[in-house]
Amino acid sequence: MPIEPARLEILNALTRKVLWLSSWTIHHANHIRPNVDGLKVGGHQASSASLATIMSALYFSVLRPQDRVAVKPHASPVFHAIQYLFGHQTREKLENFRGFKGAQSYPSRTKDVDDVDFSTGSVGLGVAQTLFASLVQDYVKAHGWAKDRPEGRMIALVGDAEMDEGNIFEALLEGWKHGLRNTWWVVDYNRQSLDAVVREGLWEKFETMFRNFGWDVVIVKYGSLMREAFAEPGGEALRKWIDQCPNQLYSALCFQGGAAFRKHLRDEIGDQGPVTKLIDRRSDDELLALMSNLGGHDMASMLEAFEGIDHDRPVCFIAYTIKGVGLPFQGHKDNHAGLMTVAQMEKWRSSQNIRPGHEWDEFEGLPREPAEIEAFLSSVPFNREGRRRLSAPEIAVPERLTFSPAAQMSTQQGFGLLLNELARGDSALAERIVTASPDVTVSTNLGAWVNRRGLFARAEKADLFRSEKIPSTFNWDASPSGQHIELGIAEMNLFILMSALGLSHAINGERLLPVATLYDPFIERGLDALNYACYQDARFMVAATPSGITLAPEGGAHQSIATPLIGMAQDGLSSFEPAFVDELAVIMRWGFQHMQREYGEGGSVYLRLSTRSIDQVQRIMSPELEAGITEGAYWLRKPGPNAEVVVVYTGTVAPEAIEAVGLLGESRRDIGLLAITSADRLHAAWTAARALRRDRRGVAHLSHIEKLLAPLPRDCGLVTVIDGHPSALAWLGGVRGHRVEALGVEHFGQTGTIDDLYRHYGIDANAIIDAAESLTSGAPVRHRKLAV
Ligand SMILES: Cc1ncc(C[n+]2csc(CCOP(=O)(O)OP(=O)(O)O)c2C)c(N)n1
Ligand SMILES: [Mg+2]
């Protein structure tokens, strides 16, 4: 249905306003704000302009409150401008764009005030996030939750060069497997990246690829001015010329203007007949307006495209645009960091009828009365419910997580048992847990959980092995009530899915408690997505197993060294490396609570687990021990008053540490054994305590590790040991100034038995004894571990 002219006029006026406000925001940050640091705001101006019409069409007309959008990072000024017009963004924050606590460069869920649905910044991730958010919406609906909420569309505004990111393709494949719906990706096809003009014919690759994955593709190439011109005599020749014009040349001509277009058109298709007439009927300005009227800059064409969708299949819109459209550097291949000069801005200001000093006024220079525009804005469907961030009540976590103990166990096995126990019960916690694994469900010990809780799929699908009565340990029927999402191998997908599941409370108003399993070394494969999930405050638990060199014979590429440091350094993620399963039970219980705490208090949880089966300690879990485990450390053996050396270990090397302490006992006094369950939490609390003391607010406040180490004599040595990079524990020497011998693994790749490798890398009992000896005076240690 053609759009009413009056409505079109308002939408076009708002688009101009949005382009103005976003450009003014950038200009202000560069030329007006005092104390600018000399760093110019690049990468926004041209990139934003590209999307002004498309975003105005969406936000002012097409979107409904339940729809969610990931905005291309550099279009953030456009997003903020639209929110400003809705009254959700402040002038103060816009004036302080990119400044301390000002509006963010790239839309940020956690730091921006204007209701960002999904953060973006690292290109590609926000795009995939919308796909997984849609799968999560299906999951929530299939489980019978959020019944009163209409289904939303998950929409990504995608840069054409952003499509180079591999994670997008990985996500596409996964989406196809799960019957993706309600997802729109709008490719801003300006044929420019940061550095260059993109290859010819890229759109054809996109088109076939998307169709291949079951998406509808809508190409919005020509604006209405163009379509009108094509209907004139000679118009077909013009269309042909446009279609055949190389991207580089089209960009260059857009930059040069109407006269340059005229020359090329005359030389290349001029016929002294209808085509020439078509061209000559237009002034240079009119000709430029025609040639830059690509579909993505034409409100009517974009509305037609969006409103033409009457189904829930995924759709890719390829909208032709010009990077920097309407600005002096439009189309120039170097325009990514392009900025307008003060003089250019002045000229543009007066052409928009904006008086000096009224640059921020919402209604300044608009062709309609403010009251009419206001009424229009308040009738916009997207804005009907105001802010759209939802919340969900906390899910109760049982007092204790239980498991059937065995004398010898690995933490990975314990993890499986703990989840199996949860799966057997009918707690609210178990109901809200969703697990996912990138093709390592069985090998990370999730099998028992899946047997009980089933695979998730929108449609029932029986496990044919089961129906054929072929014996198998695993019965994996898929159904809408299943609670395990089986993914392909791509770890990026795992973490983006975590990001989507872990925001369900805010997006769907239904809380989910996602748990992911993967091999520890492959955290690095998905690291940017993990970082992204944490950045936008999604809440999830990652059990990474096996870890370290402890999976010895597996060798090379499956050994992880750096992950303890990743766990410590990753903001928003509390990492743990327990040795015993009773510790893991306490940590997971704490984790499920931590995942539900407010922004700034809670976060996600990383469990670095091992497949190594070790003797379990028999003990009663006291509240004090529980506190030590969740705060990150406790004395497994308290040091005496004259301790000469303390052995500090984390994780699966506990038996080596225990053995070394036993052997050292006869030669060194008062030895202590400190169990570290979370170097990350210990370190974080230590930093926080120092900051508190520096601020003089809590002079007496000591962190957990400071209290633990306080009784040690000054000359007591610390031997730290970890199946991972030694620096994860070496910092303990800085706490009270004790000397440290930090043992760990700095090289990888060797295969062998655990004994071989622990000896080779120097993290076995004898290496601990050697290190203790080097830190202490006195006679040589009498006992050593005998070679096996
Ligand atoms: C993972 C990642 N790599 C690199 C960048 C730097 N970067 C920002 S935008 C961009 C390319 C922009 O091209 P396109 O996606 O086509 O958007 P346009 O600027 O044309 O609107 C690059 C390389 C980034 N933000 N994220
Ligand atoms: Mg581009």
Å from CA of 764 to ligand 1 middle: 48
Of the pLDDT bands very low, low, confident and very high (cuts 50, 70, 90), residue 246 is: very high
Ligand 1 pocket test, pick from 55, 78, 129, 193 with the greatest ligand atom count within 8 Å of Cβ, gives: 193
More confident residue, 337 or 488: 488
Q: Is 657 exposed, middle or buried (CB count within 10 Å of its CB: 0-12, 13-18, 19+)?
A: buried
Taking alpha carbons only, the member of 92, 131, 90 closest to residue 113 is 90
Q: 563 near 724, Cβ under 8 Å? A: yes
Q: Whose CA is nearest to atom 13 of ligand 1?
A: 193
Coil vs helix vs strand at 211 = helix
- Residue by residue, DSSP assigns 551-585 as GGGG-GGG--SSHHHHHHH-TTEEEE--SSHHHHH
- Residue indicated by tokens 């997908």: 493
Å from CA of 194 to ligand 2 middle: 7
Q: Which ligand sits nearest to residue 247's alpha carbon?
A: 2
More confident residue, 29 or 488: 488
114 lines ligand 1 (CB under 6 A): no
Q: Express each pLDDT in 457-493 by its tens digit.
A: 998 888 888 788 887 777 788 999 999 999 999 999 9
Å from CA of 172 to ligand 1 middle: 20
Task: Give the model's pLDDT for residue 551.
Answer: 83
Q: Where are the alpha helices (DSSP H) in 390-468?
A: 411-424, 428-432, 447-453, 464-467
Å from CA of 193 to ligand 2 middle: 4
Q: 656 near 763, Cβ under 8 Å? A: yes
Q: Which ligand sits nearest to residue 531's alpha carbon?
A: 1
Q: Whose CA is nearest to atom 9 of ligand 1?
A: 194
190 lines ligand 1 (CB under 6 A): yes
Beta strands in 411-529 (DSSP E): 433-438, 455-456, 478-479, 484-487, 513-518
Of the pLDDT bands very low, low, confident and very high (cuts 50, 70, 90), residue 39 is: low
Task: Give the model's pLDDT for residue 782.
Answer: 85
123 lines ligand 1 (CB under 6 A): yes
591 lines ligand 1 (CB under 6 A): no
Ligand 1 pocket test, pick from 26, 41, 47, 492 with the greatest ligand atom count within 8 Å of Cβ, gives: 47
193 lines ligand 1 (CB under 6 A): yes
Please report, as a single letter, which amino acid is at residue 186: V
574-601 average pLDDT score:
97
Ligand 1 pocket test, pick from 123, 199, 297 with the greatest ligand atom count within 8 Å of Cβ, gives: 123
Å from CA of 519 to ligand 2 middle: 36
192 lines ligand 1 (CB under 6 A): yes
Å from CA of 124 to ligand 1 middle: 9
What integer best gives the mean pLDDT of the chain?
94
Q: Express each pLDDT in 131-161 by its tens digit.
A: 999 999 999 999 999 999 999 999 999 999 9
The first and second tokens of residue 335, run together, are: 């325009």
Task: Give the model's pLDDT for residue 36.
Answer: 53
175-196 average pLDDT score:
94
Q: Which ligand sits nearest to residue 324's alpha carbon?
A: 1
Å from CA of 193 to ligand 1 middle: 6
With 80 as the cut, is the pLDDT of residue 43 above it? Answer: no
Taking alpha carbons only, the member of 531, 528, 500 closest to residue 514 is 500
Ligand 1 pocket test, pick from 22, 194, 297 with the greatest ligand atom count within 8 Å of Cβ, gives: 194
Closest ligand 1 atom number to CA of residue 50: 21
Closest ligand 1 atom number to CA of residue 158: 15
Q: Is 68 exposed, middle or buried (CB count within 10 Å of its CB: 0-12, 13-18, 19+)?
A: buried
- Residue by residue, DSSP assigns 248-272 as HHHHHHHHH-HHHHHHHHHHHH--S
Closest ligand 1 atom number to CA of residue 190: 20
Of the pLDDT bands very low, low, confident and very high (cuts 50, 70, 90), residue 338 is: confident
- Share of residues in the chain with pLDDT > 70 (%): 98
Q: Express each pLDDT in 257-298 by its tens digit.
A: 999 999 999 999 999 999 999 999 999 999 999 999 999 999
